[in-house]
Chains A and B, each alone.
Chain A
Amino acid sequence: MMKITYKKYAPVIAAAIIFCAAGCKKDFLDTKYDIYATPGSISTDRGTLFTFAYAFYTPLPYGFTSLDGNFFAAATDEAQRAGNVPTGTLAFNDGTLSQINVPADETANYRNFYEGIRAANFYIEYSKNWREFLARNRDTITDLNYPRDKRLVGWFRGEARIARAYYYAELAKRYGGVPIITQTLEQNGGQVMPRSSYDEVVNYIVTEIDKYKDSLQVNWKTSGDKDQDGRFAKGSALALKARVLLYAASPLNNPANDVTKWQKAAEAARDVITTTGLNFGLYTGGYRNYFIGNASITSGNPETIMAVRRPAANTPELANYPISTAGGNSGISPSHNLVADYEYIGAPDPLDPYKNRDPRLAATIVTNGSTWNNRVIDQSAGGSDDMAKSNTSPTGYYLKKYLTDGLNLTNNGTAIHSWVLFRYAEVLLNYAEAVNEVYGPDVVPAGYPYSAKEALKLVRDRASTLLPAITATSKSDFRAVVKHERRIELAFEDHRYWDLLRWKDAETILAQPIKGVKVTKTGTDYNYQVVNVASRLFKKPAMYLFPFSQAEMVNSNGTLVQNPGY
């Protein structure tokens, strides 16, 4: 009996054993999730030498949406936000920037700039064996793409260094000294690097640029790889260096006014002008045209040193067209403080204060009585843009620079908007400012192409040859002239705030009320009454630097030292 049962049972126990043996396969738990690239899959994909490089470019700033979805200008004396002032802008306007009140855009910037640095660090490590990688699995003789790949990737190696330097420059102008990280931080939650000093950061940037400036394409626009324009090149690296050294020589960072710092800044600016092969010049198609459409990013334009491109869109127009234009939101309303600073090129017209002005006014700002979006802007009571309507411009001005005229927003009309990071006019003004501080306005130093005044005049003449002649002969008088010229020429290009900081002028200028004009009409004549539109506050000395956010301070466990005053 027992035997019979056992025999019957044998196959079953055998089946159980087989079942278990089949199931207990050692790799049963080795499942895969194959939607994304893995270290294994990228190791055979030489395209990653390109895609990982693009990653250190994506965090580049795009100034059309840098603060609360709009230009940074509303944080300065250039403009006031129409309607409810968003919280990020308010932190600057009200001087309430603090550890617990860092605008979301700046928290994101801090992270994004370090994201760019991390991507650059990663690329430098990842592409170590790039030559061998590019040659792998292809016939390097017959494959026609191979030489081009080799060329482009070789440059990416240098660009990674410059991109990293660029992000450090952006961080330093906000925070002063920041932690310098030159390799990817491996996963290690506790590791927080201490801040380097501002001078160390500047020194790091300059050293990197000097070391790698010759590993870069000289000028994409004049090269055989025009389609790669938008990447860093020797010209943009030198322009970056010139800007960084100018900031480092400025009163905020050079309180003892060490003239050798100005000297370095002057030399760096000179190099952008004189280095062979760069061939930068001023655009001759008109100041207004430079900023609209694709003018600034075509290879025929010698002024652009580097620009951030985006596909055609209408975000700036949606944000800044007058509210009375269908789809518009008024947005950035230029201040009368700025408008008043545009010079006259003829006798003032008592009836029209906007007549006979520096043509850059009409190219930058929509003034009352001018034509914009296919209508004459009339801000008087009952007019097309009656200021009593809600969400109209509080200052009596609308933004024009960068905006294409007459886009049909309800039909989703779009235009190209490129954010120029470096252009030749800025280099000339950097040059004028630095050279003046070392040599005065009229000296052409040995080995230099222009005197400070001549460089400045190039910029002014491009705007209009009718502008009053510069008569300043002293360093300090000319300093005021350069400051004025930067305000006008570089309006809304996100230079103003940082210029005021580095000149240490912010505590006076950013504390003055924003002015606007109240427009009334008698008969067919407009009357303009200058009024205060909004008060401003600048908390000194704290606001000369940004505060690190509360979260960042807590996360650093005391490693990070907060900027003074916060």
Chain B
Amino acid sequence: MNNRYILQLVFTGFLLAVGLNRTAAQSVAAANPNDTIAVIPATVQGRLFNISTLSSTGAVSSVSGNALQKNVVPNLTNTLYGLLPGLTVTQGNGEPSFDDAYLAIRGVGSYGYLGGAGGYNTAKIFVDGFETNRNYLRSFSPAEIESISILKDAAALSTFGMRGANGVIYITTKRGQIGKPTVQFQARTGLQRPTNINKPLNAYGYANLYNQAISNDKGNVWTPFYTPDQLQAYQNSTGVNVDWYSEVLRAQTPYTDGNLSFTGGDTTTRYNVILNYANQQGLYDVANKDATSNEMLKRYNVRTNLDFSFFKIFEAKVDLGGRIEDLKSPNYVTSRSTAGLWDDLARYPSNIYQIRDGDTENWSGTALYPNNPVASVKALGWASSHARILQGNFSLRERLDFITKGLFLSEAFSINSYALSTYNKTASYARFFNGVTTTTAQTTPLRATGQSAAGQEDWKQGTVTLGYQRAFGDHAITSAVNYHESNYRGDGVFSFAYHYQNISGRANYTYKNKYVGEFGFSYFGSDAYAKGNRFGFYPSVSAAWIISNETFLLNNKVVNYFKLRASVGKSGSADTEGAGSPVSGQNGRFLYQQYYNASGTFYMGDGSANANNSLRALFIANPDIFAEQSIKYNIGADINLFKKLNLSLDAYMDKRSGILTRDNSLSASYGNNILIRNLGKQTNKGFEATASYTDRSGKLGYSLMGMASFNSNTIDYMAELATAYGYNAVTGRSFGTPIGLVSNGFYQLEDFNADGTLKAGQSLPQFGRVQAGDLKYRDLDNNGKVDDNDRTAIGDPGIPKLTYAFGANINFMNFDLGTLLQGAGGSSINILNYATQTQAFVNNGNAYEIAQGAWAYYPNEGIDTRSTATYPRLTTATNANNYRTSSFWIKSGNFLRIRNIELGYTFSARLINRIGLSKLRVFVNATNPVTWSSLLKHHHMDPETQSGYPALKSYNTGLSVTF
């Protein structure tokens, strides 16, 4: 069988085929050669033991590692789109090594996760039974992965205790199988380009609008800043007009990856060795040489998974997974990322200066726009960082059949180490404008700035498991209890240890292959809480009924398989940032402990003000603080009809309580003290549905799949500071719902008296004086004033409520064609947050196409957009009335993308066996090629990556060979 992915689901005597076979001989016969379609695996992955699909009572969605190969990207999180119902995957930016997608299992169950770069992305990640983090997840190669499962309900999460409330991403790596040695090789190469770049207006467009803006600011009197001559020069390209994006970026950039695996083994020893290499170049148009460098990520993965069987009762596993990640980029970095350059590109107008000052070699730059974007990539040298990651898992399992049949004991130990260091070669340049330097920066030659440590972490974990598995006649029992101890230590803000202990167990009982009951528990202790208050007990019960095994359905021609599932149970969440927590990065830990810190300064002295730091309580210690609690309910059904159509349905509710929350109900007579308590409550509901249909007709095999996940949450209580009116409140709404004013068109000239004041009868806005062309808002409380008390919900949360995907795989003769489309609905985007693109001229910024719809009325200049305006009147200043969260700026975040299309050709075995190959497939692939979105269409913003380094699409070719 080797590494070939053969799935056979054996259900009590009959074969329900989801035939999947990658050998050349069989691939033509298989309907679904590419694994893109979610298949029902033979076993369901789980903690302590895997269990047959039939006996599983939990809500788990899985995907094989091979299916992840369809998205040609270096970051594992970007391969997960549309494959796992219940997992919301939102694309981030495309910068190499900073391109993590946002992952959430079953939406946002709790508002309590506000801190940290990951936002509320707090699904826990387990690899081969041990917890890891996103540093480890990101750089996985799909080639290392057997399967990824998303554990969603109480049954699947029963043993996770305080790690379980937000779901678990459970990864199993590939192991060797008994068989002759097999070597497999795959190489892919392609070109990446941005999915979208929202370019600002050129110099002519910018200057034209600027004239309007400055005139608006001077009492609507036409007082242009740019003369007609200057405008003319911009138009006929004799004026300064630099397209910074084209100057700094290349149109496309190469991506290459390859992997080589050796696998095989016999009854005593099995091995699977995988080597992987990925090379991603950045978008910058700069040569890779001594003094400059494009951004580039080079990653090397090695994984050795070994299995030994000896002395009849022992099975040992030695798994080593290591990576080296080298990242290099132009030395215009903050925390290793070049994000700042993208802000400059978006913000610097086209007409500020030429790239070089006059006819000299000097770089242009001014005090207002000091960082010439071209010089940022070419004149500062380069920065590099090196990450080294190693996970080593060792386990030994003893079959104790000599005590009683089916009993086993196993011990396992895991170490995970991560170290990051940096090394830079830096230079700087003097900024010139019209022949004189404009800042204090000097030109300095390239020099090395040494190596420095930039972060490290290590993670030691151990487990001991005692299990019992046996079937007697109609009865089958699978059970295990486990002790798990975890010791994480990092540096930086996490300069303290994270320890937890978990005693957990599961027992699954199946009767006559019809009735299944499972009980699970976790007795979990976290070091985040006060002594005596550290442990929580998290039980769960679940059941399944395989109706299709009842006599009345047995051998039914239509219904081949029909299972109902239900589960209920408790889980928890420790180490989460409390909403309103006084210490960012503390992750809500040690809130039981009273701390004092310097806060505020008192000055005294004779004729002077000498500073004296004061000390005060950081917060009010709360000895009762404990982990957030989740009660999850799930019902589901798994159905197979006509042996061709698979359906899986789940509906769930998650009741959260005890979410760490600042108690705003504390009277102000407590002073500024902050009390965090387990106060918050939230309800999250939703459903998931997947369907796949597999069939063949003659030489044409095809399969279709679709999935949809919907969830909606309500904040039931969050100790919100009392608002003036109920409709101002966040409580009672979904987490992240935008609260703002309701926009009601523009003020027109007729709304004002001659002296510029608003005519009587209109509600007076409280955000400064308004003039014609400003945004008008509804006065919801009808008190004659428009203020923050008129805010209400004006859209959906940013995280989509609905994610869906559909796709198809077709094979005909030796060709195969597969595609997957994924979309999202029920999300809103506040484009005001992308101020550089949406707030024209503010803070000496740029102007974009959106500003061309501005309200303006200068009849003598032939400008009159009073009836057609789509944007408030322009201004060069900040404007508290217009640039304020309101329904005007809320846009739909809905989209549909083609995530991938792949066309492959598999050479016939006859042909290639002669040259010693058992399989040869070549393919072309497009990843992320097309997006449909109203935001993209109307505002040129990617619906998932609105600003910064753009998300990427790519066109690739590749081949895979099995020897």
* Interface of A toward B, CB cutoff 8 Å: 2, 5-6, 8-9, 12-13, 15-16, 19-20, 23-24, 28-39, 42, 48, 50-55, 57-59, 84, 87, 90, 96, 100-101, 107, 110-112, 114-119, 122, 178-179, 181, 185, 187, 189, 191-193, 221, 226-231, 294, 297-299, 308-312, 390, 416, 418, 549-556, 560
Contacts and interface: CB of A to CB of B under 8 A. Distances in A.
**Most interface-central of B495, B531, B602 (chain A CB within 10 A):** B602
B449 interface: no
**Most interface-central of A2, A5, A179, A226 (chain B CB within 10 A):** A5
Contact of B605 (A36, A227, A550): A227
Contact of B496 (A34, A39, A191, A554): A34
B485 A84 contact: no
Contact of A230 (B534, B586, B604, B675): B604
B309 interface: no
A312 B462 CA distance: 58
10 contacts: A12-B396, A15-B411, A28-B527, A48-B615, A51-B598, A53-B614, A189-B666, A192-B667, A297-B607, A418-B609
Given A19-B411, A114-B669, A221-B606, A12 B398 contact: yes
B675 A51 contact: no
A297 B618 CA distance: 32
A32 B593 CA distance: 10
B448 interface: no
B594 A38 contact: yes
Contact of B527 (A31, A185, A227): A31
B603 A311 contact: yes
A112 B614 contact: no
A230 B602 contact: yes
A53 to B, nearest CB: 8
B670 A114 contact: yes
Interface in B591-631: 593-618, 620-622
**Most interface-central of A32, A231, A554, A555 (chain B CB within 10 A):** A555
A37 B603 contact: no
B526 A29 contact: yes
A405 B260 CA distance: 76
B671 interface: yes
Given A13-B409, A33-B589, A552 B668 contact: yes
Contacts of A9: 313, 398, 400
A33 B880 CA distance: 42
Contact of B668 (A51, A110, A230, A294): A110
A496 to B, nearest CB: 25
Given A19-B462, A31-B498, A551-B722, A52 B606 contact: no
B596 A38 contact: yes
Nearest to A548: B668
Given A31-B499, A119-B616, A54 B602 contact: yes
A561 B673 CA distance: 23
Contacts of A560: 667
B313 A38 contact: no
A181 B603 contact: no
Given A20-B464, A38-B595, A58-B614, A32 B667 contact: no
B402 interface: yes
Interface string B658-680: 00000111111111110101000
B666 A54 contact: no
Given A29-B525, A555-B667, A37 B606 contact: no
Contacts, number: 232
Given A48-B615, A50-B612, A52-B614, A181 B669 contact: yes
Contacts of B664: 551, 555
A60 to B, nearest CB: 8
Contact of B596 (A36, A100, A115, A294): A36
A51 B602 CA distance: 9
A118 B672 CA distance: 9
B402 A297 contact: no
A2 B599 CA distance: 70
Interface in B523-571: 525-527, 531, 534
Contacts of A551: 664, 668, 721-722
Contacts of A114: 668-671
Given A114-B668, A118-B671, A100 B789 contact: yes
Contacts of B501: 23-24, 28-29
B930 to A, nearest CB: 47
Contacts of A101: 787, 789
A37 B672 contact: no
Contacts of A111: 668, 671-672
A298 B606 contact: yes
A311 B602 CA distance: 10
Nearest to B311: A8
A185 B670 contact: yes
B584 interface: no
B5 to A, nearest CB: 34
B766 A193 contact: no
A92 to B, nearest CB: 13
**Most interface-central of B666, B671, B673 (chain A CB within 10 A):** B671
A185 B605 contact: no
Contacts of B599: 55, 58
A100 B724 contact: yes
Contact of B606 (A58, A96, A118, A227): A227
B604 A228 contact: yes
Nearest to A296: B607
Contacts of B769: 84
B311 A5 contact: yes
B923 interface: no
Contacts of A16: 409, 411, 464
A84 B667 CA distance: 33
**Most interface-central of B597, B603, B613 (chain A CB within 10 A):** B603
Interface string B400-411: 101000000101
B855 to A, nearest CB: 19
Nearest to B497: A31
Contact of B603 (A31, A112, A310): A310
Nearest to A560: B667
Nearest to B679: A189
Nearest to A16: B411
A294 to B, nearest CB: 5
A110 B593 CA distance: 27
Contact of B671 (A23, A115, A193, A552): A115
Nearest to A185: B670
Given A28-B485, A112-B672, A311 B611 contact: yes
Contacts of B487: 28
Nearest to B500: A29
B446 to A, nearest CB: 33
Given A8-B313, A230-B602, 15 more contacts: A29-B526, A33-B586, A33-B593, A36-B595, A51-B612, A53-B614, A54-B600, A57-B614, A84-B769, A189-B663, A189-B677, A192-B667, A192-B669, A310-B609, A390-B218
B217 interface: yes
B768 interface: yes
B267 to A, nearest CB: 18
B787 A87 contact: yes
Contacts of B402: 2, 5-6
B785 interface: yes
Interface in B765-812: 766-769, 785, 787, 789
Contacts of A226: 606
A292 to B, nearest CB: 13
Nearest to A45: B615
The list of the 8 closest CB pairs from A to B, nearest first, reads A115-B671, A230-B604, A58-B600, A54-B614, A84-B768, A51-B615, A554-B722, A100-B724
Contacts of A230: 602-605, 609
A377 to B, nearest CB: 22
Given A19-B464, A114-B669, A5 B603 contact: no
Contacts of B723: 550
A36 B402 CA distance: 56
B606 A30 contact: no
